[in-house]
Chain A
Amino acid sequence: MNSYKLKHGITLFVMLFLLNNITKAQTDLDAIMMEKNRFCVGPSYMNNSWKNYWEGTLKRDNANLGTVSTQSYAIMGNYGVTDNLNVLFSVPYVSTKASAGTLKGNKGLQDLSVFVKYLAMEKDLGKGTFSLYAIGGASVPLTNYDADYLPLSIGLKSKTASLRALVDYQVNSFFATASATYVLRSNIKIDRNSYYTDHMIYSNEVEMPNASNINVRAGYRSERLIAEAVFNQWNTLGGFDITRNNMPFPSNEMNATTIGAKVKYVLFTKHEFAVEGGADFTISGRNMGQANNYHGGLLYVFELKSKHSNEKSKEATK
């Protein structure tokens, strides 16, 4: 019953932004599905900034960068192909800036992300409902931006493919969700034709280590209000440390643990118009900034096909 209601709910859109602008549309990290033929779309804004960062495991600041901030304006969408299968996308425009020093910030369209989310199983368990999701994702850079300009590049430029298992358990209006993701990252090309990692490489191609992500979230979830606490752990599976007083590099080992909170509220249920916002704070990391992340967005849901044809197709599948 409860989960049926949830399918009417509007999906959350949140950006999780780490030092190097690793973007995640958070809908692919939650246990909420759009109903068949319904489309959710909206703009979002994200502000991420850090003053301290980890050079390897050493925490430091840098007076020649001051505070590094990243702003992202994104359009995100989620379409219900069926009640159990959603397709999600996001397209962010990113701009970066350092408050001190002479380096110029960068800006531009970053990566298109697409996710396919499948509700594989849903059953009553004890007092609540248990559900299991499989989520496949892919991302590609939309422009030929320069990844080798950290910490002011707008992204890492890797093409990615990811696979995630997500479980959710809800009792009345309280829920907990956990997911684990494996991210394949393609090698990238940089403007230089040689570079030093922990040894010299005479190529413009950079080997990018794959990555993993663990996300745990829990809180209150009803038709109008979702309020949750979020824990996230991003790890690259390989890479090297920034050496003392060196610049960061795309294939560094980049890890970050963040905690945060998020709220979404549906303003008008008739048109399903909602606002959402939240914050995340980095509690530990490696070769990344200790970022504070604030985000907000608007969400609007509508039918892509008429109710009539929708009903018809439902009949047909029965």
Chain B
Amino acid sequence: MKKIILNTILYTSAIILLLSSCSKEIEGRTDNVAALNPINPDENAGTWKTILLTAPNEIIVPAPAATNTPDYVAQINEIKSCQYNLSREDKEIVKYWSAGAVFRWNEILRELVAKHNLPPYQNADGTYPIPSATNPLAYPLFPFANPPYAARAYAYVSAAQYDALVAAWYYKKQYNRPSPYQVDTTLNVLIPKSPLSSYPSEDATIAGVCAEMLKLLFPGDQDFIQQKIEEHKRARIVSGANVRSDIDAGEALGKAVALKFVARARGDRAGAAVGTPTIWAQLETDAITRGETPWISLESPKRPPMLPLYGNVKPFLFDSLTKVSLLPPPPPSTNSPQMQTELAEVLDNVKHPTREKTAIVHYWADGVGTSTPPGHWNAIAAEDFISKSFSEVRWARNLALLNMSLMDAGIVCWYTKYYYFNPRPTQLNPEIKTLTGVPNFPAYISGHSTFSAAAATVLSHIIPEKAAAYDAMAKEASMSRLYGGIHYRSDCEVGLVVGKNVANYAVQRAQIDGAE
């Protein structure tokens, strides 16, 4: 008997030791994505309609050197010498970046947003510090990448990548310099071969765009971003996809195009979106004058409302008069029986939440420390685009349509929120305990609903066979805010309508941009 027990203990310890040495590392869904091999190279994308560029050749890309020059031969030899001693790290970066340049930079951007989506901690006197772009590494770190900030960041990066790639495609066709593996057929190629000219490199164009855009958007993360840029460019040379002059020309093009977008961003009024104490007080007074209960922060100490002037930011898809026309009718008055009914419904939802509904709340919460709802929709889009094997330029075009919609949806949503300045359910009935954090801005209309309907509308246009699924996701995301106790039904339902209205402008653009 004793022997059996002793043996059992010995075996148990052996198993535990064995298990403890086991790897528990998680494989992410996109860690091992296959190399992008576009079904359609979109040869004529150089004619697609640009966003800020007045013409695809607005930025001049010089003619490349001929492939029989000693300089070009030296560049081919650079590839060969890199491949001669291929390290494990090199193989890893080739594998990582070959999944797609637009895709990987979209992931990197989502990661930066998640890292920075943290509300600043209060000062000792109960006020809150405001992050400063000129001193990004001092607390509070710049930026606070909340949903409006994130939506704008995704839009600028995607739109700039799109314009830059249209230009790159224009020059590919114009100069038509062959790829290194077409020039030297003995070259070992580690990625799927493209029928298109390799000059200028589309990958380097994207990296160049990101280099400039992210200096503006994430100025405190330059070491991380520069490391990614270097890896990306090296991956293209090591893999035999590009010679160095392809890379240099692409990077220069990307940077030049991005600077146009940086200039637009500096003047789009986002810098003033925080508002001032006078403006914050005025919003409250105005709501009282209208006979409504004004929104009050539920945080302790009370935090100023999030980006009250974000509704004045310059949209991508329409002008500011159109924005005003997209304003929905007012929410039920805070004194109305309708509001009492909706409030009762919220309370009912949080009183006895089912596990299934709680899971929905948390799946879509995308709160503090996440890539935000726009980031979540970028992830949904990206994972679907992977299966479509789009060309890089089509990837960029589709993400630009998605993210311009999300940014503009955010603008109209924020404009609405501060136009009506409507309180959250818990403010009107403190008995309502929420299943997720209460966002620090007015309720009407729901940001999640507006963002989700906008995304679902654009994605349904791009991948029509999934329209019903996108619609169901948007509705679930919308209702998750009611289940969680942080929105009334009106906020959610009207948010879905407004989001769709905004995204229709992107669909109209998609129909005439030359890509369909």
Q: Which residues of A contact B (CB under 8 A)?
A: 63-64, 82, 84-85, 100-105, 118, 120, 134, 136, 144, 146, 148-149, 161, 163, 182, 184, 186-187, 190-196, 199-203, 205-208, 210, 243-247, 317
* Other-chain contact of B16, A149, A182, A195, A200 (Cβ < 8 Å): A182
B114 touches A202 (CB 8 A): no
Shortest CB-to-CB span from B498 to chain A, Å, is 26
Shortest CB-to-CB span from A260 to chain B, Å, is 28
Q: How far is the CA of A136 from the CA of B433 in the complex (A)?
A: 41
A64 touches B299 (CB 8 A): yes
B300 touches A202 (CB 8 A): no
A148 touches B24 (CB 8 A): no
Tell yes or no: B318 within 8 A of A by CB. Answer: no
Q: List the count of A-B residue pairs having beta carbons below 8 Å apart.
A: 121
B485 touches A104 (CB 8 A): yes
B300 touches A100 (CB 8 A): yes
* Other-chain contact of B300, A101, A195, A203 (Cβ < 8 Å): A101
Residues 1-25 of B at the A interface (beta carbon under 8 Å): 1-2, 5-6, 9, 12-13, 16, 19-20, 24-25
A203/B111 contact (C-beta < 8 A), A191-B362, A194-B379 known: no
A-B CB contact pairs (8 Å), 18 listed: A63-B301, A102-B433, A102-B438, A103-B434, A118-B5, A120-B9, A146-B355, A149-B362, A186-B24, A187-B26, A194-B370, A202-B28, A203-B27, A244-B139, A245-B118, A246-B368, A246-B369, A317-B1
Tell yes or no: B107 within 8 A of A by CB. Answer: yes
B359 touches A196 (CB 8 A): no
A193 touches B26 (CB 8 A): no
Chain A residue nearest to B141 (CB atoms) is: A244
Q: How far is the CA of A161 from the CA of B9 in the complex (A)?
A: 13
* Other-chain contact of B19, A100, A148, A184 (Cβ < 8 Å): A184
List of A residues within 8 angstroms of B119 by Cβ: 245
Q: How far is the CA of A85 from the CA of B9 in the complex (A)?
A: 12
Q: How far is the CA of A129 from the CA of B457 in the complex (A)?
A: 76
* Other-chain contact of B26, A63, A146, A207, A317 (Cβ < 8 Å): A207
Extra contacts besides A190-B362, A191-B362 (17): CB < 8 Å: A102-B432, A104-B485, A118-B5, A120-B6, A144-B355, A146-B355, A163-B13, A186-B24, A196-B371, A199-B111, A202-B29, A202-B30, A202-B379, A203-B26, A206-B26, A243-B118, A244-B121
Most buried by B among A101, A120, A202: A202
Shortest CB-to-CB span from B289 to chain A, Å, is 28
Residues 21-69 of B at the A interface (beta carbon under 8 Å): 24-31
List of A residues within 8 angstroms of B16 by Cβ: 161, 163, 182, 184
Chain B residue nearest to A163 (CB atoms) is: B16
A191 touches B5 (CB 8 A): no
A136/B9 contact (C-beta < 8 A), A146-B358, A203-B29 known: yes
Residues 358-417 of B at the A interface (beta carbon under 8 Å): 358-359, 362-363, 365, 368-371, 376, 379
Q: Chain B at the A interface: mostly helix, strand, loop or mixed? A: loop
B118 touches A246 (CB 8 A): yes
A103 touches B437 (CB 8 A): yes
Q: How far is the CA of A120 from the CA of B7 in the complex (A)?
A: 12
Shortest CB-to-CB span from B125 to chain A, Å, is 14
A200/B300 contact (C-beta < 8 A), A161-B16, A243-B118, A245-B121 known: no
A201 touches B362 (CB 8 A): no
Tell yes or no: B426 within 8 A of A by CB. Answer: yes
For chain B, give the interface size range. Answer: 35 or more
Nearest 10 pairs between A and B by C-beta? Answer: A104-B433, A63-B300, A196-B114, A191-B362, A202-B28, A200-B111, A245-B121, A191-B359, A202-B29, A102-B434
B26 touches A104 (CB 8 A): no
Q: How far is the CA of A190 from the CA of B370 in the complex (A)?
A: 14
A104 touches B435 (CB 8 A): yes
B371 touches A200 (CB 8 A): yes
Q: How far is the CA of A317 from the CA of B27 in the complex (A)?
A: 53
Q: How far is the CA of A114 from the CA of B257 in the complex (A)?
A: 64
Chain B, 295-315, contact with A by CB distance < 8 Å: what is the 0/1 string? 000111100000000000000
Q: How far is the CA of A223 from the CA of B355 in the complex (A)?
A: 47
A104 touches B350 (CB 8 A): yes
Shortest CB-to-CB span from B80 to chain A, Å, is 34
List of B residues within 8 angstroms of A101 by Cβ: 298, 300
Shortest CB-to-CB span from B26 to chain A, Å, is 5
* Other-chain contact of A192, B355, B358, B363 (Cβ < 8 Å): B363
B362 touches A200 (CB 8 A): no
Tell yes or no: B115 within 8 A of A by CB. Answer: yes
Tell yes or no: B110 within 8 A of A by CB. Answer: yes
B114 touches A200 (CB 8 A): yes
A161 touches B19 (CB 8 A): yes
Tell yes or no: B219 within 8 A of A by CB. Answer: no
Q: How far is the CA of A205 from the CA of B23 in the complex (A)?
A: 14
Most buried by B among A100, A190, A194: A194
Q: How far is the CA of A146 from the CA of B141 in the complex (A)?
A: 31
Residues 67-118 of B at the A interface (beta carbon under 8 Å): 107, 110-111, 114-115, 118
A64 touches B107 (CB 8 A): no
List of A residues within 8 angstroms of B31 by Cβ: 202
Chain A residue nearest to B13 (CB atoms) is: A163
List of B residues within 8 angstroms of A200 by Cβ: 28, 107, 110-111, 114, 371
Q: How far is the CA of A136 from the CA of B30 in the complex (A)?
A: 38
Q: How far is the CA of A205 from the CA of B435 in the complex (A)?
A: 21
Q: How far is the CA of A205 from the CA of B31 in the complex (A)?
A: 14
Chain A residue nearest to B425 (CB atoms) is: A102
List of B residues within 8 angstroms of A186 by Cβ: 24
Most buried by A among B5, B110, B365, B379: B5
List of A residues within 8 angstroms of B275 by Cβ: none
Q: How far is the CA of A199 from the CA of B139 in the complex (A)?
A: 20
A192 touches B300 (CB 8 A): no
B433 touches A196 (CB 8 A): no
Q: How far is the CA of A182 from the CA of B119 in the complex (A)?
A: 37
Shortest CB-to-CB span from B224 to chain A, Å, is 10
